[in-house]
Amino acid sequence: MITIYTDGSSRGNPGPGGWGAVVFYDSNNQETRDKKQWVTEIGGRENYTTNNRMELTAAIEALKFVSELQTANSKLQTVIYTDSKYVMQGITEWIHNWIKKGWRTAGKKPVLNQDLWQELLDVSSNLDIDWEYVAGHTGDHGNERADTIATSFADQLSVDLYDGPKSEYK
């Protein structure tokens, strides 16, 4: 089981932006055959972007990371928590109609961020994913940490990304 928290941030919208993700998973040590709960934080930045693009990028990059954890014979159950209703509804509801309509909205306008929606669809196609909405800024530790990572990258502030045992994660 893999649990992911994602968030995106943009200053100015559009403006400088950042994305962050916190990934909880089982790590197998091949030498000792130990299975440990592990946490890896990832994040990044773009100079000129929107909040929605950063929210999508966080999900895409987290799923790319998860794809590397899987073996050819395993399909790991993954839960993604996002505070973006845009991402949540887009990937679970709207995307199917956009595809049927040639990447047009119900109002017949081109879908915004189509490039990222297509990439998200591509990286999620071979994964078993449950998408969950979590309200932002309500004290949920995973969501708060993903937000801190995203805003730190957007503001070009130093942030220490954790990669280690869950037992030592603060």
**In whole angstroms, how far apart are CA 42 and each of 28, 92, 105?**
20, 24, 32
* Alpha-carbon gap, residue 17 to 10, rounded angstroms: 4
To the nearest whole number, what is the mean pLDDT of the chain?
A: 93
Give tens-digit pLDDT for 134-165: 998 899 999 999 999 999 999 999 999 999 99
Give me the amino acid identity at 51: N
* Alpha-carbon gap, residue 57 to 116, rounded angstroms: 7
pLDDT score of 24 more than 70:
yes
* Alpha-carbon gap, residue 163 to 72, rounded angstroms: 24
Report the predicted TM-score, pTM, of the whole model to 2 decimal places.
0.94
Determine which one of 68, 93, 137, 139 is catalytic. 137
CATH number for the domain that contains residue 140: 3.30.420.10
* Alpha-carbon gap, residue 43 to 154, rounded angstroms: 10
Q: 164 catalytic, yes or no?
A: no
Determine which one of 46, 55, 61, 119 is catalytic. 55
Pair 29, 103: CB distance under 8 Å: no
Can you give the pLDDT at residue 34? 60
Can you give the pLDDT at residue 114? 98
Which residue range forms the structural domain that includes residue 35? 2-168
Q: 155 catalytic, yes or no?
A: no
Pair 162, 169: CB distance under 8 Å: yes
Tally of residues, the chain: 170
Determine which one of 41, 46, 61, 83 is catalytic. 83
Write phi, then psi, for 54 (nearest 5 degrees): -70, -35
The total number of structural domains in the chain stands at: 1
Given pLDDT bands bounded at 50, 70 and 90, which one contains residue 30? low
Q: 160 catalytic, yes or no?
A: no
Q: Dmax of the chain from CA atoms?
A: 57
User: How are beta strands 2-10 and 15-29 bridged, if at all?
Assistant: antiparallel
Q: 147 catalytic, yes or no?
A: yes
Q: 137 catalytic, yes or no?
A: yes
3-class state of residue 139 by DSSP: coil
Q: 115 catalytic, yes or no?
A: no
